[in-house]
């Protein structure tokens, strides 16, 4: 497994400081009163009897001109990002179940209809973002990029090289520059491995950029990300903001709009809703609240709500 060191002096002490000061880790302690609602009876069991929605669309990927970016939302936090000559998958997940949580909306395209994938990015180790079965099917001896301390979860899946990044560290891939950014979340796959990294990625190519922020609650780091990188397209989570634990672990739609403003991005593309019922809010509530919030601030034309499996060119 290939592993890079952090930018700066490269010492272990410097790396530790960067990790501890760049991101904010959410604690695992539930909020007060979390037990007053029953996630099992109110959400999980009803979801088991819910028919999966959505359709697999025909895979028609556009031919891109110089400086154009093609984006296909697969569902949840999974995206196919295309630049001229490079196909990137972020947080690919075609799973029908997350352990006991049922997928209630089909991925937008079939896994076998994907173009050849040149590079894979994973934002953190949570099961809805790092699905080992999907990654094993995608792996064709190409590189994969993950946050620090996540590499051992993917190095045996068939990738040519595994690149672990620290915050603000970059990986060069042909014409692309991939930079790991901090967020406000946590990276443990199980309770005992809270040392694992978590974050988002800025993808820069031919003077354009895409920011996939992974999972995050709202935090004061968005402004710094926008100051460090000129962002064209911001892929921001808007769902799972009313979790069973009551912790603030994901942004709500209004916070996503504020994050978009602080980033100084040109377009907001929402994600992390509609595929898995991870929270109490209704599945159709996040995009409705997002549109209403953007309209109130005069930003409705800046928001692009995508359809799973339908490519768009920016």
Q: Is 122 left (phi over 0), alpha (psi -120 to 50) or beta?
A: beta
Is 312 a residue whose pLDDT tops 50? Answer: yes
Tokens 């602080």: give the residue.
262
DSSP code string of 200-241? EEEEEETTEEEEE--S----TTHHHHHHHS--SEEEEE----
- What is the pLDDT at residue 55? 86
Better-predicted residue by pLDDT, 27 or 84: 84
- What is the pLDDT at residue 6? 43
Is 18 a residue whose pLDDT tops 70? Answer: no
Least confident window among 63-67, 79-83, 128-132: 63-67
Better-predicted residue by pLDDT, 120 or 32: 120
Cα separation, 46 vs 65, whole angstroms? 46
Please answer whether residues 77 and 101 qualify as being in contact, where contact means their C-beta atoms are separated by less than 8 angstroms. no
Cα separation, 62 vs 173, whole angstroms? 22
| Residue (of 285, 221, 203, 293) closest to 259 by Cα position | 221
* pLDDT bucket at 7, cuts 50 / 70 / 90: very low
- What is the pLDDT at residue 10? 60
Pairing of strands 162-165, 170-173: unpaired
| Whole-prediction pTM | 0.91
Pairing of strands 208-212, 119-121: unpaired
- What is the pLDDT at residue 23? 78
What percent of the chain is predicted at pLDDT more than 90? 76
Least confident window among 23-32, 44-53, 252-261, 302-311: 23-32
Say how many residues make up the chain.
Answer: 314
Cα separation, 313 vs 65, whole angstroms? 10
Cα separation, 184 vs 23, whole angstroms? 6
CB atoms within 10 A of CB 279: 21
* pLDDT bucket at 213, cuts 50 / 70 / 90: very high
Element (H, E) at 160: none
Element (H, E) at 80: strand 78-83
Convert the pLDDT of each residue in 165-209 to its tens digit. 999 999 999 999 999 999 998 888 987 788 899 999 999 998 999
Average pLDDT over residues 36-43: 89
Convert the pLDDT of each residue in 120-177 to its tens digit. 999 999 999 999 999 999 999 999 999 999 999 999 999 999 999 999 999 999 999 9
Better-predicted residue by pLDDT, 272 or 39: 272
Residue 227, Cβ density class (10 Å: 0-12 exposed, 13-18 middle, ≥19 buried): exposed
Element (H, E) at 312: strand 312-313
* pLDDT bucket at 282, cuts 50 / 70 / 90: very high
Average pLDDT over residues 286-313: 97
Dihedral, 134, 213, 88, 152 alpha carbons, nearest 10: -50
Please answer whether residues 86 and 29 qualify as being in contact, where contact means their C-beta atoms are separated by less than 8 angstroms. no
Average pLDDT over residues 284-300: 97
Pairing of strands 184-185, 24-25: parallel
For domain 121-308, the CATH superfamily is Ribonuclease Z/Hydroxyacylglutathione hydrolase-like (3.60.15.10)
* Mean predicted lDDT score pLDDT of the chain: 91
Helix (H, G, I), strand (E, B) or coil at 177: strand
Q: Is 249 left (phi over 0), alpha (psi -120 to 50) or beta?
A: alpha
Is 272 a residue whose pLDDT tops 70? Answer: yes
């Amino acid at each position: 497994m290939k592993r890079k060191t952090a930018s700066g002096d490269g010492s272990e002490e410097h790396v530790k400081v960067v990790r501890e000061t760049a991101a904010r880790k959410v604690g695992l302690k539930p909020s007060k009163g979390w037990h007053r609602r029953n996630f099992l009876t109110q959400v999980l069991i009803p979801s088991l009897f819910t028919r999966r929605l959505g359709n697999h669309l025909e895979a028609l990927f556009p031919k891109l001109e110089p400086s154009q970016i093609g984006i296909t939302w697969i569902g949840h936090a999974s995206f196919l990002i295309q630049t001229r000559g490079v196909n990137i998958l972020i947080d690919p997940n075609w799973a029908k179940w997350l352990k006991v949580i049922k997928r209630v909306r089909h991925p937008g395209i079939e896994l076998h209809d994907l173009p050849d994938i040149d590079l894979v990015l994973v934002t953190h180790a949570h099961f809805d973002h790092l699905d080992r079965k999907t990654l094993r099917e995608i792996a064709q001896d190409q590189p994969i990029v993950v946050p620090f301390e996540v590499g051992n979860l993917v190095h045996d899946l068939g990738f040519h090289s595994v690149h672990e990044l620290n915050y603000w560290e970059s990986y060069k891939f042909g014409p692309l520059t991939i930079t790991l950014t901090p967020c406000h979340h946590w990276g443990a796959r199980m309770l005992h491995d809270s040392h694992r990294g978590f974050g988002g990625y800025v993808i820069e190519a031919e003077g354009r950029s895409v920011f996939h922020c992974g999972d995050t609650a709202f935090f004061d780091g968005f402004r710094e990300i926008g100051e460090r990188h000129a962002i064209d397209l911001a892929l921001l989570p808007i769902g799972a903001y009313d979790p069973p634990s009551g912790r603030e672990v994901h942004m709500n739609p209004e916070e996503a709009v504020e994050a978009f403003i602080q980033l100084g991005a040109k377009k907001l593309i929402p994600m992390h809703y509609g595929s898995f019922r991870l929270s109490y809010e209704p599945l159709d509530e996040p995009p409705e609240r997002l549109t209403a919030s953007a309209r109130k601030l005069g930003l409705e034309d800046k928001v692009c709500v995508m359809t799973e499996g339908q490519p768009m060119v920016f």
